Copies of this chain bind each other. A is one copy, B any other.
Amino acid sequence: MPNRNTEDLKSRLVEYMDREGLRSTAQRRLVSDVFFKSVGHLSIEDMLEKVRAIDQGVGYATVYRTLKLLKDSGLAFERHFGDGVSRYEVADEGEHHDHLICQTCSKIVEFEDDEIERLQEALARSHGFELRRHKHELYGICADCRAK
């Protein structure tokens, strides 16, 4: 139950599909609806499971291609956390965050730090780079796991 305006996301997707001349199909609506209502970082398998709970006729490739579509439209971020699996996350507008990951229990905490953002922007500029995006992941052991 994310606190999120899924209607807005849906209409942005429709706009994108209109613009690109893509068709609105039952599968795309199902996959994108399920995705927009999800929290966290979902693999294709995760999505397939959720989607098949509603319609088990949906194929892996369709989920894969719809997630790609969502990524291309800017409505999903694709993440890689070191295991070989791609994960997808709803790209809430304006919101941005990095990740703090527990190496023991795999808990993922999201964070944002304006000061770090500012410093990395400055750093990129000082090396002549125009910064487009970044990946900042902190790996450690969370308080719960240390307590055990």
Contact = CB atoms under 8 A, between A and B. Distances in A.
Interface of A: 80, 82, 84, 100, 102-103, 109, 111, 113, 115-116, 119-120, 123-124, 127-144, 146
18 contacts: A80-B80, A80-B82, A100-B127, A102-B129, A111-B127, A113-B123, A115-B119, A116-B119, A119-B119, A124-B140, A130-B141, A131-B139, A132-B141, A133-B139, A134-B136, A134-B137, A134-B138, A135-B135
A65 B136 CA distance: 29
Contact of A137 (B103, B111, B135): B135
Contacts of A129: 100, 102, 109, 138, 140-143
Given A113-B120, A131-B138, 12 more contacts: A100-B124, A100-B129, A109-B127, A111-B127, A119-B119, A127-B142, A128-B144, A129-B140, A129-B142, A135-B136, A136-B136, A136-B137
Contacts of A146: 130
Contact of A111 (B109, B115, B123, B132): B123
Contacts of A136: 120, 134-137
